[in-house]
A and B are shown apart, each in its own frame.
Chain A
Amino acid sequence: KNQVEQSPQSLIILEGKNCTLQCNYTVSPFSNLRWYKQDTGRGPVSLTIMTFSENTKSNGRYTATLDADTKQSSLHITASQLSDSASYICVVSARTQIYGNNRLAFGKGNQVVVIP
């Protein structure tokens, strides 16, 4: 069973509208949670990194939230643009005893399509 579950798998939204993507995880011990944006045919690009003490973090029109108690995170996209069409990947980092070598668990991604 994947330790990082994302929903919805895909969604279509109208340009200018908002949307929220969900990420639930079971990874432990928790170190941090990352959201990446992956455009078609490209590598993932980091949007945010949050530790357990951070509830929310913004990067432009992207706002990530984290509830470490319920092991849930969300990524909110405000006033969507056509360029927001991409896959959004939730990645949870598990702390290990080897410095610099946290185990990363990747979700399968939320596929977002923004239409005019």
Chain B
Amino acid sequence: DAGITQSPRYKITETGRQVTLMCHQTWSHSYMFWYRQDLGHGLRLIYYSAAADITDKGEVPDGYVVSRSKTENFPLTLESATRSQTSVYFCASSEFGTGDFHEQYFGPGTRLTVT
């Protein structure tokens, strides 16, 4: 039972480079989410997707691009990485979104460092 996985788990990149973080879930959940977690902040929503080919911005979308061509995959791309994007990124999925009693399941996270 793989659940929800993220790759890579750790990544170091240079300023200005493009980086893609992968997220894969095996439950066929409709909703998928990308968050970032920084010291001094709670988790912040970057983008979410309600279904394949349906995505929408969250709280902090600037500098990020997402796509969802298949239900099970939700990659997050940093088009030109900046030091402020150094963070731990979490992918999550949910069968019916974030409404009442709808559980959200998180992946193990990707620690990204931009030098």
Chain A interface (Cβ within 8 Å of chain B)? 2, 4, 31-32, 41-46, 49, 51, 89, 93, 99-109
Task: Tell whether, in the assembled complex, residue A2 and residue B101 are in contact, meaning their CB atoms are under 8 Å apart.
Answer: no
Least CB distance from A38 to B in Å reads: 8
Given A41-B109, A42-B109, A43-B90, answer yes or no on A100-B42 (Cβ-Cβ < 8 Å): no
Task: Tell whether, in the assembled complex, residue B97 and residue A105 are in contact, meaning their CB atoms are under 8 Å apart.
Answer: no
CA distance A106 to B103 in the complex (A): 15
Chain B at the A interface: SS class:
loop
Q: Contacting B99 at CB < 8 Å: which of A100, A106, A107? A: A100
Interface size class of B (residues with CB under 8 A): 20 to 34
* Number of A-B residue pairs with CB-CB distance less than 8 Å in the complex they form: 63
Task: Tell whether, in the assembled complex, residue B98 and residue A93 are in contact, meaning their CB atoms are under 8 Å apart.
Answer: yes
Given A101-B97, A101-B98, answer yes or no on A2-B108 (Cβ-Cβ < 8 Å): no
Given A89-B42, A100-B50, A105-B42, answer yes or no on A45-B99 (Cβ-Cβ < 8 Å): no
CA distance A107 to B41 in the complex (A): 8
For window 93-111 of B, CB contacts with A under 8 Å fall at 96-109
Q: Contacting A108 at CB < 8 Å: which of B40, B98, B99, B106? A: B40
Chain B interface (Cβ within 8 Å of chain A)? 31, 40-45, 48, 50, 90, 92, 96-109
Contacts of A104 in B (CB 8 A): 45, 98, 104
Least CB distance from A101 to B in Å reads: 5
CA distance A32 to B40 in the complex (A): 24
A102 nearest in chain B by CB position: B98
CA distance A99 to B98 in the complex (A): 9
Task: Tell whether, in the assembled complex, residue A106 and residue B98 are in contact, meaning their CB atoms are under 8 Å apart.
Answer: no
Q: Which of B48, B50, B92, B101 has the most CB of A within 10 A?
A: B101
A109 nearest in chain B by CB position: B42
Given A43-B92, A45-B106, A101-B50, answer yes or no on A106-B100 (Cβ-Cβ < 8 Å): no
Task: Tell whether, in the assembled complex, residue A101 and residue B99 are in contact, meaning their CB atoms are under 8 Å apart.
Answer: yes
Task: Tell whether, in the assembled complex, residue A43 and residue B102 are in contact, meaning their CB atoms are under 8 Å apart.
Answer: no
CA distance A51 to B40 in the complex (A): 27
Task: Tell whether, in the assembled complex, residue B92 and residue A31 are in contact, meaning their CB atoms are under 8 Å apart.
Answer: no
Least CB distance from B16 to A in Å reads: 28
